[in-house]
Structure 1
C-alpha cells in the first residue's frame, strides 16, 4: 500500500514539475501576452502570410456553424472553468438533452452519455479521431467540446445514432502565455492545474498542461477520487505553409467506485398492483417484516478493503499539415492510444428481494433455513470485476479547402481513415456469496457478503476465501490468461463533404462515407476458434440552407447512421454483440443473422449568429427512427425487427449577450418511444408427464419510453462581469424523470392436455429515478490583470438526487453540496 501511494505521489509531482519548468519563463519584448489563457474559441480563422491557421480541430466542418444544417453546440473552456467542471461528464451536464447511463459490465463508471435517447459512448472523438477505450475523461487539457446531434455516421463512422462528441485539445499557439490554478474546498477537495504555452522561436511553440486532483465526495461515505495527468505538445511551422504538431497525453486515476443506492423492490415482492414506480431506497423505509429505518444519502454499500477502480490513458498524436495554396490544405493525423481499466465494483443487488423482503415472518424450517434473512432490511454486495487493456492506432488523411466550379463556390473535405483496435479483458477471482440461496443468511452476513440496508459498514473486515463454503483465505488474483477474451477490429473508411453555395441565399450541404468494419472475438480457452465478421456501411447526409440574412439561416436535413455488431469491441453495453463461441448451432445461426442497426434522422431548424458572431441561437425540430434493432422474434430466435422513434424540439443559446454578460444552455423536449420491442419468452412449468413449454408474448418494452432518456431537460449557465473586477454567475439544471427498465408479471401455465394459457399482468414494475432541479453558483474577483479569486458552489441547495438509473439493482446518487475556492494566476 505504501509503495502504491508513493508511486501515485511521484506521478503527481511529475505532472506539476512539467508546469513549474515553464511557469517563470519570461516573455520577450515583441511577444503578445494575453490577460486570459488562450481563448481559442473566440478566434476566427486567421491568415498569416497568406497561410491559414485554423482553430478548428475537424476539417469535416466545411461551413460555419450558422450554415451547418445540424444542431451543433460548442462548450468552451470558459464555460467549463466557470461551472467548476473537472470531468467531461460534469461539463456535459450543462448541455440540455444529455443523460448518462449506468451499467454493470464493460464501462460501469466511465463516460456513457446518451444523446437524443441513444448511447453515445462509442461516438466520442478526440481531435476528430475516435476514442473508444472505457474511461472517465478529464478536462484539464480540453479547449472545447463540440456536440453534433442526430444520426452522424457520415461524420465519424460506425455508430453515431444520437450524435457525436468531439473533444478539442489545447495545442501550441504563437505567443507566450499561461495559467496556473489551485483549488481547495469541502470534502477535502484539492486540485491544481496548469497550462503554459511558450513560443520558442518564430513558428515554434511548446505547450504543456498538468493536473493533480484529490477529493472525497461530498455527501457520500468513504468514496474518494484521485488522479493526475500531464499533456505536453510541440509545434513547428506555425504561420508557414507546412506545420507539424506532436502531442502526448497521460491520465492516471485511482478511486473507490460509488455503488449508489438499491431499488426498493423487485417484481416478486413489489406491493400493490398496476404501474409501480420503483425508485431507489432513500429516506424512511419499512420492510415487509415491519422493520422501519432510514437510508441516508451518504449510505455506501461497497467495501473499502475490496473495492477499487484504477485507470490509465496514454495517447500520442502526430499531425502534419501543408497548404498548397491559400485555399487548399492537406492534413494527416496519426494517433496511438493505450487505455487500461481494473476494478472491483459493488452493486447493491436487489434481485432476490433482500431490501424489502419476501416473507413477513422469518423462516421456521430446518436449522439452516432459520438462518435465512428473508423478511427484508438486508442487501447482497454483488461484486462486478474486470481488468482490461485497449490499444488503438488510427490514421486520418484529409484534403480540404475552397474551390469554384462554373461560378458555384464549394467548401469541401475529402479523406480516408484506417484504424486498428484491440481490447483484451478478464476478471478477478473472488468468492462473493453468489452461490448462496437466499443471498442473505447467517453465513453470508458473517463474511460480509451481505449487509444491513439501513446501517452498512464500508469498513467491514472482508476477506476472500477459496469458495463460499471454504475456510481457507486466499488473495484476490486475476484470472489466468486462458480465461480472458480478446476483441480485434479494423476499419477502412473514405468520406467526402461539400458545402455548395448555389446562390448567396441558398446553400446545399452534402456528405457521404463508406466503411469496411472487420471485427473478431477470441473467446477464453485455447480450443475454440475466433468468431469473425465483416460489415460494409454506407451512410450519407444532405441539408438545404436558406439565409434570409447573412447572420441567420433556415435549414432542413436528412442523415443516416449504422451501428454494426461488436461496434464497441466489448468496452460497453453491446446490445448487438457477436457470439463468443460457435460450438452450438444456435450461436452459428445468430452469427449468420446479425445485421447492423440502422438510424435515420430528419431535422428542420433555424440559427442566428449575432453580435459579430459572438452570440449563437438555435432552434431545431427532429425525428430519429431506429430500425433493425436486435430483439427476440415470435419463433424465439434472434431477429432484427426492433424499432424505436425519438421526436423532439431543442433550443440553444451560447455566447455574449452584452459586453461582460455570457450565457450558455437551452431546453430539450423528447418523445422517445419503443415502437417494437420484439417478444419475450415465458415458460409454462411441467404438469405431470408433460414437460415445460415455452411461449412468446409481446415485449413489455413495446410502446414505452426509451430507458436512459428524459422528456424535458433544461440548463442555463451565465456569468456577468460587474465593475470590471467582480463577476457573478451560476447554473440551473432541470432533468425530468428517467427510466431504467420495465418488468411485468405475466406468467404461463399449462393443463394436463398441454394447452398453454398466458395469465395477464397484474403489475408493471418501472425502475426509475425522479426528476430534479440543481443549482450552482460562482463569484470571482479579479485582484489584478494576472490574479483572480473565485468560489464555486455546486449543488447549492444540497439536493439529494439521482443522476443515473440502471436497468436493475441500483440508481446512482449525485454528490452533495461541494464548495471550493480557486486562485487563478494568468500570465
Structure 2
C-alpha cells in the first residue's frame, strides 16, 4: 500500500499506529503533517482512508510548501498518485502472485484491451491478505478493482472514464506502548487484539477526463470526480499502568504490579466529495524566450462526517486500576507474575453499535492559478506561479464550552469562516554543465484553522482551535520555504544525483497551551517553528544490471515562538531528524532479478503536531 512506499523515502515519517491514529494513512513530510495532502491524478483525496497501489502508475512526492500547485495545507509537501489509464497503443495482460509466511498472499491483474483504433479498456484487480507476523490474530485483507475506458472521439478530442472501488478489512494491532519510567517502547508484548476488533475502509470514485488539443503546443484538460469513502474502526490499545489483583489491594495501594491496561480506540468517518479541475496548457515563444504556461481553475466541495461507536464490555475484568474516575475494574494483558492473561484475545467481549456523529466538516473552495516556466537562455530557466483560493468553511461539532470536545453532554455548534488567500512559488535554475545544474526556489503555503477533517475540535491534533477571549477562528497558518540545490546526470544520463538544502518556517501556528490534545480551547496564531535540513539522493542505473534508489535526509527542527515559553528551543514531535533508505535490484538475466531494501530512522518524540 501507499504507506509502505512512502515509508521507504527519506524525509518522510509515518505517524500511523502504536496506540494512536488507528485508521487511515498519516504522513509527516519534512516535519509537517501531510495526512490531508494526498492527491490522485492531481485532485485532493480527502479523508483518512487506506490507499493501495495496484491501480497506480507512479507516485509523485513534492517536498516543501506546495500550495500554488495543490491548494490549502501542503505545508511540508504533497503526495500524488498517477493512476493507470487505458491505452490504444497495444494489448497486454500482466499478473503477479506473491506468497509468504504468515499466510501472506497477494494477487494482482493488469489487462489492457484495444477494442478498436480509437477505444481501449483497462482493468486492474487486487486480492490480498496476510496475518501480521508474530501478532496473531491480527491480520490485513484487501480487495479492489479499477476500470479505465479511453475513447478518441476525434484526432483532437479524447475522453477517459475511470471507476475505482477498494475495500480493506483488518483486525488491527496497535502495537506496544511507552514505558513511563524509561520513555522507550516496551518489548515483547503479546498481541492483545480482541476478536471483535475491526478496521474497515471502503472507497468508490468515478472520474471523467476530457482532453482537447487545439494545436501541437496548446491543449485543455478537464477532470471531474465524485467519490465516497466509508471508514470505521474499533481497536484495542494498551497503556502502561500499575494494576492490582483485588479491589482491596487497589484501595490500599498494596501488591501493585506493572502491566498495561487495555483501552478502546474507535470512530467512524463518511466522506463525500466532488471536484472539477480545468487546465489550459500552452507553449509560447514570446520575444526571445519560450514559455510553458499553465492556467487553471478548480472547484471542490468536500464533506467529512466523523462519529463514534457505542459499546458495552461483557467480559469479566481481570485487574483493578486507578484512573480519572478513581479505582475501577479493568482489563490487563498480564497478571502480577507477568504471565499473559488467559484468553487474552477474548477478554473484553464488546457489544458494538454505530453511534452518533460528533463533527460535520465541510469546505467549498474555488481556486484560480497561473504558472510559467521560461527558458531564458540555453543555461538559465526561471519558473514561478501564483494561486488564489477562496474558501467557504463550516464545521458543526459537539464540544463542551469548558474546552473538551466530545459527543456526550455537549452542545452542537457551528464554526464557520470564509475568505481568500494567495500563495506562490518562484525560482530559477542554472545549467553550468551539460549534465548538471544548480537551482534556488521560494514557495509558500496556507493552512486553515480546523483544516484537518478527521479531528473535529481537538485543537492539539490540528482540529478547530478557539481562543476563549476571541470567538473567531483567527488567521490561517502561513508557511514559507527557501531551498537551494543541485542535480547531476551521471553514467550517460542513466543515474541522477541530487542535493537540496532547505528551510521551512511556519508562522501564526495554532497552539493548545493546556497540553490537553482534545481541548477545543487554544491560542490563535501565537506559535512559530522552523525545520531546516539537507537531503541527498542517488537514483537510476549504476550498470546495465544494477539499479538503485538511495537517499538520506538530515533535519533540525526548533520551536521559535510559543505561548508556552518553556517550549521555545525544543524540537518538534512525530518525525525523525535523520532518515535514510536504500533500494537495490540486480537483474541477473532478462527473466530473473533479485532486490532488497534497507531503511533507517533515528529516534522521534511522541506528541501533538506543531509541539
- The alignment's TM-score, normalised by the length of structure 1, stands at 0.66
Verify: 1:235 aligned to 2:150, yes or no: yes
Output the CA distance in 1 between the equivalents of 2:144 and 2:352.
Answer: 28
2:527 to 642, 652, 659: 642
| Structure 1 residues 724 and 437, CA gap change in structure 2 (3 angstroms) | closer
Output the CA distance in 2 between the equivalents of 1:279 and 1:349.
Answer: 13
1:125 to 24, 35, 39: 39
Q: When you count strand as a share of all residues, which structure comes out higher?
A: 2
Counterpart position of 1:388: 269
Counterpart position of 1:313: 203
Other structure's SS at 1:91 match:
helix
Counterpart position of 1:462: 348
Output the CA distance in 2 between the equivalents of 1:309 and 1:592.
Answer: 36
| Structure 1 residues 188 and 238, CA gap change in structure 2 (3 angstroms) | farther
Verify: 1:557 aligned to 2:471, yes or no: no
Counterpart position of 2:77: 163
Counterpart position of 2:107: 192
Output the CA distance in 2 between the equivalents of 1:105 and 1:491.
Answer: 34
Output the CA distance in 1 between the equivalents of 2:263 and 2:553.
Answer: 36
Verify: 1:730 aligned to 2:596, yes or no: yes
| Higher RCO (Cα < 8 Å, 6 or more apart) | 1
CA contact (8 A) 2:47 2:454 kept: no
Counterpart position of 1:507: 381
Verify: 1:149 aligned to 2:63, yes or no: yes
Verify: 1:349 aligned to 2:239, yes or no: yes
Output the CA distance in 2 between the equivalents of 1:637 and 1:96.
Answer: 33
Counterpart position of 2:518: none
Verify: 1:224 aligned to 2:148, yes or no: no
Shift of 1:221: 2.7
Q: Per-residue displacement from partner, 1:25-49 (whole Å, max 9, x unpaired)?
A: xxxxxxxxxxxxxxxxxxxxxxxxx
2:463 to 577, 582, 588: 577
Counterpart position of 1:491: 365
Shift of 1:451: 5.3
| Structure 1 residues 579 and 663, CA gap change in structure 2 (3 angstroms) | closer
Counterpart position of 1:261: 176
Shift of 1:430: 2.0
Please identify the structure whose Cα radius of gyration is greater: 1
CA contact (8 A) 2:179 2:185 kept: yes
Counterpart position of 2:422: 538
Output the CA distance in 1 between the equivalents of 2:63 and 2:493.
Answer: 21
CA RMSD of aligned residues (A): 2.9
Verify: 1:625 aligned to 2:501, yes or no: no
| Structure 1 residues 220 and 677, CA gap change in structure 2 (3 angstroms) | farther
Other structure's SS at 2:345 match:
coil
Verify: 1:663 aligned to 2:548, yes or no: yes
Give runs of aligned pairs for residues 357-756 of structure 1, distance below 5 A: 367=248, 369-370=250-251, 375-431=256-312, 438-439=322-323, 444-445=329-330, 448=331, 452=335, 455-456=340-341, 457-464=343-350, 475-480=351-356, 483-524=357-398, 528-570=412-454, 575-578=461-464, 589-610=469-490, 613-631=493-511, 638-679=523-564, 698-699=565-566, 701-741=567-607
Shift of 1:597: 1.1
CA contact (8 A) 1:535 1:564 kept: no
CA contact (8 A) 2:250 2:322 kept: no
Shift of 1:678: 2.2
Give runs of aligned pairs for residues 90-105 of structure 1, distance below 5 A: 90-102=4-16
CA contact (8 A) 2:483 2:503 kept: yes
Verify: 1:179 aligned to 2:99, yes or no: no
| Structure 1 residues 109 and 527, CA gap change in structure 2 (3 angstroms) | closer
CA contact (8 A) 2:18 2:175 kept: no
Counterpart position of 1:136: 50
| Structure 1 residues 527 and 646, CA gap change in structure 2 (3 angstroms) | closer
| Structure 1 residues 632 and 730, CA gap change in structure 2 (3 angstroms) | closer
| Structure 1 residues 220 and 183, CA gap change in structure 2 (3 angstroms) | same
Other structure's SS at 2:137 match:
coil
1:212 to 127, 133, 150: 127
| Structure 1 residues 532 and 399, CA gap change in structure 2 (3 angstroms) | same
Counterpart position of 1:114: 28
CA contact (8 A) 1:519 1:566 kept: no
Shift of 1:369: 4.2
**Structure 1 portions without partners, runs of 5+:** 1-86, 271-276, 283-295, 465-474, 581-585, 680-697, 743-805, 809-827
Give runs of aligned pairs for residues 82-97 of structure 1, distance below 5 A: 87-97=1-11
Shift of 1:372: 6.8
Other structure's SS at 2:206 match:
strand
Shift of 1:463: 3.3
Counterpart position of 1:279: 184
Shift of 1:279: 0.7
CA contact (8 A) 1:372 1:441 kept: no
Output the CA distance in 2 between the equivalents of 1:516 and 1:552.
Answer: 40
Counterpart position of 1:52: none
CA contact (8 A) 1:363 1:370 kept: no
Output the CA distance in 2 between the equivalents of 1:143 and 1:735.
Answer: 27
Output the CA distance in 2 between the equivalents of 1:372 and 1:227.
Answer: 47
Other structure's SS at 2:36 match:
helix
Other structure's SS at 1:261 match:
coil
Shift of 1:300: 1.7
